[in-house]
């Protein structure tokens, strides 16, 4: 099975990115043909600072490898190193109905949050469709927020195939129901652009600040609370061992759950959980030249896979004379 997914270098990667996409990708490495990439062209819709984008791209690649992605067991590259994707984006955008994009929640949410609208932000799902279709991916592990974009990719593929003949594989999203949406500090979806994240790699002091800022309600300690509606519990459950989780769940249900204590326990769990990755990250950051080489080699492999699909598209639509 060909499995593909990308991640934006639009800020510090967070635990929502990890559970929604990075961890499922890493666990697919053994069994499947894996395509993983850093989507810098997508990040350009929100980052207009050359230094920040360039540094963020290299760091996102380092982070992914530190967390367990092994570049020798997959194809791992930076999106803009394969320019074929932008050509395919244009072809696909000529047959993407405006209404399909106008219905996308992600665009509407971002505008509502005050993020500047642009043609690139609006057309984001078409570039994502090109990413997926160019490599004929069958499965795409994503968080629930990306489900609609996957549907757009399928709709575009169906339209292309019906207009020009069977060309693209129809991709299927892979969404783990338990991890579909990791909540942010404020209870909304954890998102780099909403400033409500728990970053995977940050200093202990900053991590503590973020964990202590998780919003909880003001129900008195002794009163029962619904754990499933508690933001803190929903983050805690991602890291706590099963027996401890059960104890904490019982405290919620019967009274006695102390938010401050649970936050400090969560902090400890988080710090330990990512300890080995933090050490690997330090080693990788010490040799950025090696990381660039890995990405360059990955891009060569990705281009070799992309070229036949793009050639087929050109021929089918008449861009060969
Ligand atoms: N809160 C989340 N819960 C579960 N999965 C999530 N993902 C993101 N946030 C959560 C998944 O992470 C993958 C990579 O995301 P992305 O960086 O490409 O874009 P995004 O979904 O828009 O992530 P952010 O953090 O919200 O970035 P910004 O704010 O820059 O747009 C995707 O598979 C996503 O589902």
Mean pLDDT, residues 49-76 taken together: 98
Whether 29 lines ligand 1, by a CB cut-off of 6 Å, is no
Residue having the nearest C-alpha atom to atom 2 of ligand 1? 16
Tell me the best of 22, 107, 145 to mutate to test the pocket of ligand 1, counting ligand atoms within 8 Å of each CB and taking the most.
Answer: 145
Contact (Cβ atoms closer than 8 angstroms) between residue 121 and residue 110: yes
Mean pLDDT of the chain: 95
Residue intervals in the chain for CATH 1.10.240.10: 202-273
pLDDT band at 222 (very low <50, low <70, confident <90, very high): confident
Our answer to whether residue 205 is catalytic in this structure is no
What lies within 8 Å, CB to CB, of 294 at 6+ separation is 61, 65, 71, 76
Length of the chain: 321
Q: Is the ipTM of this complex over 0.90?
A: yes
Which fold, 202-273? Tyrosyl-Transfer RNA Synthetase (1.10.240)
pTM (2 decimals)? 0.94
Our answer to whether residue 189 is catalytic in this structure is yes
- Predicted local distance difference test score (pLDDT) of residue 197: 97
Give the Å distance between the CA of 109 and the centre of ligand 1.
13
Contact (Cβ atoms closer than 8 angstroms) between residue 1 and residue 139: yes
Atom of ligand 1 nearest to the CA of 180: 4
pLDDT higher than 90, residue 193: no
Render pLDDT for 101-118 as a digit per residue (tens, 0 to 9): 999 999 999 899 888 899
What are 72's strand-pairing partners? none
Residue intervals in the chain for CATH 3.40.50.620: 2-182+287-317
Whether 199 lines ligand 1, by a CB cut-off of 6 Å, is no
Our answer to whether residue 192 is catalytic in this structure is yes
Atom of ligand 1 nearest to the CA of 181: 3
CA distances from 56 to 9, 143, 204, 253 (A): 5, 21, 21, 42
Whether 125 lines ligand 1, by a CB cut-off of 6 Å, is no
Which fold, 2-182+287-317? Rossmann fold (3.40.50)
Render pLDDT for 149-178 as a digit per residue (tens, 0 to 9): 999 999 999 999 999 999 999 999 999 887
């Amino acid at each position: 099975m060909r499995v593909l997914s990308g991640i934006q270098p639009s800020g510090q990667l967070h635990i929502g990115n990890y559970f929604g996409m990075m961890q499922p990708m890493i666990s697919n490495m053994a069994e499947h043909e894996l395509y993983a990439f850093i989507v810098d062209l997508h990040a350009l819709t929100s980052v207009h600072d050359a230094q920040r984008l360039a540094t963020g791209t290299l760091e996102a690649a380092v982070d992914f490898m530190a967390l367990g992605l092994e570049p020798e067991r997959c194809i791992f590259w930076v999106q803009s190193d394969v320019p074929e994707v932008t050509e395919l984006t244009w072809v696909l955008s000529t047959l993407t109905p405006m209404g399909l994009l106008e219905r996308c929640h992600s665009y509407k949410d971002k505008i509502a949050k005050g993020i500047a609208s642009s043609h690139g932000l609006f057309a984001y799902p078409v570039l994502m469709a090109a990413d997926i279709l160019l490599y004929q991916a069958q499965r795409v592990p994503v968080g629930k927020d990306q489900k609609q974009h996957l549907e757009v990719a399928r709709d575009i593929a169906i339209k292309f195939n019906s207009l020009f003949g069977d060309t693209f594989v129809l991709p299927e999203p892979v969404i783990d129901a338990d991890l579909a949406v990791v909540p942010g500090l404020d209870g909304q979806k954890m998102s780099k652009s909403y400033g409500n994240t728990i970053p995977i790699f940050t200093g202990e002091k900053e991590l503590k600040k973020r964990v202590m800022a998780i919003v909880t309600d003001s129900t008195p300690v002794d009163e029962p609370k619904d754990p499933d509606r508690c933001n803190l519990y929903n983050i805690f459950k991602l890291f706590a061992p099963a027996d401890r989780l059960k104890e904490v769940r019982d405290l919620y249900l019967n009274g006695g759950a102390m938010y401050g204590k649970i936050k400090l326990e969560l902090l400890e769990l988080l710090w330990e959980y990512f300890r080995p990755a933090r050490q690997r990250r330090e080693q990788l950051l010490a040799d950025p030249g090696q990381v660039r080489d890995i990405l360059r080699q990955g891009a060569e492999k990705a281009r070799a896979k992309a070229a036949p699909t793009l050639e087929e598209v050109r021929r089918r639509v008449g861009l060969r004379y």
